[in-house]
Structure 1
Amino acid sequence: MHFDSRWKGAFGIGRYAHETRSRFAQPVEDMSAPGDPVSATGIAAWEARTACSGLRRRDEFLLSPSFTPSVSWRGPQAVTVHDLIHLDIAEESSSAKRAYYEYIVKPTVRRNAVTFTVSHFSKERLVEWSGVDPERVVVTGNAVADAFSRKGPTHSAGHPYVLYVRNSKPHKNSPRLVEALARMQERDVHLYLSGEADEATVRAAVAFGVTDRVLFTGGIQDEELASYYRGALVAVLPSLYEGFGIPAIEAMACGTAVVASETTSLPEVVGDAGLLVDPLDPEAIAAALDKVVRDKSLHHRLVSAGLERSKKFSWDDITRRIETALAQAR
């Protein structure tokens, strides 16, 4: 089997690629190409690379941990479509992205014997969009790295805080979370946001008078991120859209209570181990955060339920699902 090894980094697809690639039982040959995998130059380099190898290896699978297939590969292949956010969120779409999905991704999904995705929500959306037989779409799920556990150092902030592990894209809904912070009755609670400061979130903090309670952490490596989870009163995911939502199970594995959106994939990931809220309603988000912070019995229940639920997500199981599906697709 050949593996698209271009996807690296501390983000959803990067984590998925690293954790599954390191666990395959069968021999795997990495294939890479220079450039951003979704840039025009990166796509061209990938096609050139796979065209050369594909001519010689028509009986071997090419597996991508992301949505980027190779048009030039002559043998069987499988892609992993984590979500359709590039189509479903207008602010994160473009004519070029829509064309790529319509003319490259959709025919690939329809042609391949198997396509992978990470949640039942994403599977339903993928089947609806592509018209592919649901039997040919396999839900693998996601899991967490070993660094995320209850054991280890705890970040000491000197004040209570709520943590949101996110980027600055519109679907992460950070400005509404800032408004929710301003509406909380617990006025000493701060909001920690991973990543760099972005204009929309800073503008919201100024507008709602909470600049002194909002902190941008910058990039955080896994070991340090686990300590931030352990130190948080609550981990919150008010996203408008997720294909899975790995921070929810990272937080649970670290023994942190979770408040998350009631939309897209998050209900199936969180289950009854967290509080679900309307991400469009800052008042509802604030009320849920206040409730978890104030109600010690509820907080304890969510922590206990989260620890148990996080055990249901295993990279070993995910990798076995992938290998089984590929074997059946041959």
Structure 2
Amino acid sequence: PMEEARTFLRGSDSILILHFALGSDDGIELLRTCPGRKVFRYHSVTPPEYFEGINQGYLEGCRAGKAQVAALPSLGIDLFLPDSRFCSEELVAAGVPAEKCCVVPPFHQADLLEDVEADLRELDRWNDGSVNLLTVGRVAPNKAHSILIDTFAAYCHLYDECSRLLVVGSLDPNLLPYYDRLQKQARRLGVESRVVFTGKVSLAALKAHYLAARLLLVASHHEGFCVPLVEAMRLRIPVVGYACPGVRDTIGDAGLLWDEADPVLLAASVHRVESDQSLAYQLAEVGWNRYAARFSNRRVEECFLEALGGVL
């Protein structure tokens, strides 16, 4: 693949758009050697310390990624396209000129999610009268599932012992120690039978989980951009959670978010939204309007092409 890429990019009229979220020696080499215009699509690199004691390969990959970001100003890159303001601030902190950065959200499947028919078997499975809380995304340490489980346990014990937490997202075999910790935590807190890890699901099943949920719960401590929030806004699902910078950049004022990841506070917020239909409706409508104004794929395409106009 590298030889094919070099051949394809050998002309001075070529354009390289490199997506970056993990250390990549090949990617950096292409940036060094490409004679044409170079665009760096930055999704943020997860801080390596999240993988300490869990997976050495990911730890080293993220560490390498951080080091490579620090070297970007010397590579003659024409344009930087960070996913969010947070990602842009990371690049500027590494020495990238702010005038070379243009925030462009990532493309996503939220429009497809709206159009697809929900998996009715999954919908029937979860629509059994229980209050379903949903979290969506890869099961990885930076997503802070331990906070989610603590929050859910507090919600069960304080408000609704028959509720359920649906954890929808891929279970990476390289992160099994993390998954094992979460299962032990749920068992210790007495909520193991109410916390469901679904693994990766189809688009139709994902829609069913959204439609069966009262709200989307987030506690991630690091996000360059949070795509599940876009999906929730598109489907008018209210959002509750912790506002790390990438989450705040995505959701704005369209969620009930806090600057501290206090499980009791988050549980109380879940109860407030779940029990107040007017508030839930208001959050859902503000979210949908934010999606339409900023994050529809048509709007993202406009932003992307406008940004590229400076180097084409």
Give, in angstroms, the shift of residue 224 of structure 1. 2.0
Task: Report the equivalent of 1:111.
Answer: 76
Tell me the alpha carbon deviations over residues 253-299 of structure 1, each in whole angstroms, 9 at most, x when there is no partner: 11211113221121222122210024531112211111111122211
What TM-score, normalized by structure 2, do the two folds share? 0.82
1:315 has 2:289 as partner = no
Task: Report the equivalent of 1:164.
Answer: 135
Whether the 8 Å contact between 1:194 and 1:217 is mirrored in structure 2 is yes
Q: Counterparts in 2 of 1:51-90, with a 5 A limit?
A: 51-55=6-10, 57-67=11-21, 68-69=27-28, 70=30, 71-86=32-47, 89=50
Give, in angstroms, the shift of residue 119 of structure 1. 0.5
Give, in angstroms, the shift of residue 181 of structure 1. 0.9
Task: Report the equivalent of 1:269.
Answer: 250
Root-mean-square deviation over aligned CA pairs: 2.5
Mean CA deviation greater in 295-304 or 315-324: 315-324
Whether the 8 Å contact between 1:234 and 1:259 is mirrored in structure 2 is yes
Whether the 8 Å contact between 2:151 and 2:264 is mirrored in structure 1 is yes
Q: Counterparts in 2 of 1:1-330, with a 5 A limit?
A: 33=1, 46=2, 48-55=3-10, 57-67=11-21, 68-69=27-28, 70=30, 71-86=32-47, 89=50, 91=52, 94-95=59-60, 97-103=62-68, 106-107=71-72, 111-128=76-93, 130-142=94-106, 144-145=108-109, 146-149=111-114, 152-153=117-118, 155-156=123-124, 157=126, 158=128, 159-184=130-155, 185-195=159-169, 196=171, 198-278=179-259, 280-312=261-293, 313-330=295-312
- What is the aligned residue count? 283
Q: Look up the equivalent residue of 1:199 and give its one-letter code.
A: D
Q: How many angstroms apart in 2 are the aligned matches of 1:104 and 1:292?
A: 40
Quick one: structure 1 residues 273 and 59, their matched pair in 2 at CA, closer, same or farther if it must change by over 3 Å?
Answer: same
Quick one: structure 1 residues 103 and 304, their matched pair in 2 at CA, closer, same or farther if it must change by over 3 Å?
Answer: closer
Q: How many angstroms apart in 1 are the aligned matches of 2:303 and 2:285?
A: 28
Gaps of 5+ in 2: 22-26
Q: How many angstroms apart in 2 are the aligned matches of 1:96 and 1:290?
A: 39
Give, in angstroms, the shift of residue 235 of structure 1. 0.7
Q: How many angstroms apart in 2 are the aligned matches of 1:85 and 1:271?
A: 22
Quick one: structure 1 residues 270 and 109, their matched pair in 2 at CA, closer, same or farther if it must change by over 3 Å?
Answer: farther
Q: Look up the equivalent residue of 1:294 and give its one-letter code.
A: S
Q: How many angstroms apart in 2 are the aligned matches of 1:224 and 1:137?
A: 37
Whether the 8 Å contact between 2:134 and 2:167 is mirrored in structure 1 is yes
Quick one: structure 1 residues 107 and 125, their matched pair in 2 at CA, closer, same or farther if it must change by over 3 Å?
Answer: closer
Mean CA deviation greater in 275-284 or 114-123: 275-284
Higher helix share: 2
Q: Percent of counterpart pairs with the same letter?
A: 24
Q: Look up the equivalent residue of 2:249 and give its one-letter code.
A: E
Q: How many angstroms apart in 2 are the aligned matches of 1:150 and 1:95?
A: 40
